[in-house]
Amino acid sequence: MEGVSESTPAAASPGSSPDEVLAAAVEQARAAAIEVAGDPAAVGEHLEVTPEALAEQPDPALGVVGTHSFAATLPGYAGWHWAVTLAAVPGSDEATLDEVVLLPGDSALLAPAWVPWHERLRPGDLSVGDVLPSTEDDARLVPAYLADDDSAEDPAGRVVAEELGIGRERVLSPEGRIEAAQRWREGDFGPRSSMARHAPGPCATCGFYLPLAGSLRLSLGACSNAYAPADGHVVTADYGCGAHSQASLERTDGEPAEFTPTARYDTADFDVI
């Protein structure tokens, strides 16, 4: 039972071996595929019959299992095939149907692999009315009142958090703080931005700079200058812009440069037409 079988092999004769019974069961396999498809036109030509290896019953003398393949002619299923698995045992002139499935071939068009929603989200996807719940295994969060991972499911967690004065059941983990700080440093208000490279001074020396609390105080803060491009945003201490509180115009000595308009741009007089 190797290679491509004949499209219309003869029926198995009495006393045939299990391999011959399977090879001859093309019409039986086709009828099973048509029954599952619900339409004879959905089952195309016979492609091949392939032996199946049996891990729990490796001795062929006890019986064999094979799969007949038929081209699928369903709309939208180019490259797919019907796989009808049959079994045959010694002494039997008929095969037994095991299963019928529709399978993709090497050239079949498949849908992209499923990606969980929390992995597909990108910054800015959240809109008005959307809810983005955090998962229990979010590495960016840890329980605020106990180090035990199971404490996040404790129904008394909110009460304990309020008694401690924290007010939150979960807080940022070290990984969460590092991830946020790295994202902000690489953003538009970090030290490598074009604005920061041309600034007269860093935000750490600006009077409008409001440092964050906690472990991020020395490296991050918020801008409170209404005229600055980073107003209301988190900025790094080494970010900067032209609205620095210590920025001043450089005064130079001497008279202002004279400007002599040309006839082309002289609007003092006008022509009478």
Residue ranges covered by each domain of the chain: 18-104, 136-172, 180-236
Q: Are 42 and 74 in contact (CB under 8 A)?
A: yes
**Rounded distance between C-alpha atoms, residue 86 and residue 31, angstroms:** 12
Options 1.10.3470, 3.10.450, 3.40.50, 3.40.1000; which CATH number does 18-104 get? 3.10.450
* Among candidate residues 41, 6, 40, 42, the one with its CA nearest the CA of residue 26: 6
Q: What is the mean pLDDT of the chain?
A: 80
Average pLDDT over residues 152-167: 55
Helix (H) or strand (E) holding 146: none
Per mean pLDDT, which range of 55-59, 70-74, 193-197, 260-264 is the poorest?
260-264
Q: Are 67 and 102 in contact (CB under 8 A)?
A: no
Share of the chain above pLDDT 90, in %: 42
pLDDT at 260 over 60: no
Give residue-wise pLDDT tens across range 123-139: 888 888 888 777 788 88
Which is it for the CA torsion 221, 226, 227, 232, positive or negative? positive
pLDDT at 271 over 80: no
What phi-psi label fits residue 176: left (phi over 0), alpha (psi between -120 and 50 degrees) or beta? alpha
Is this prediction's pTM over 0.85? no
Residue 224's pLDDT band, with cuts at 50, 70 and 90, is very high
Q: Which residues pair with 100 in a beta bridge?
A: 84
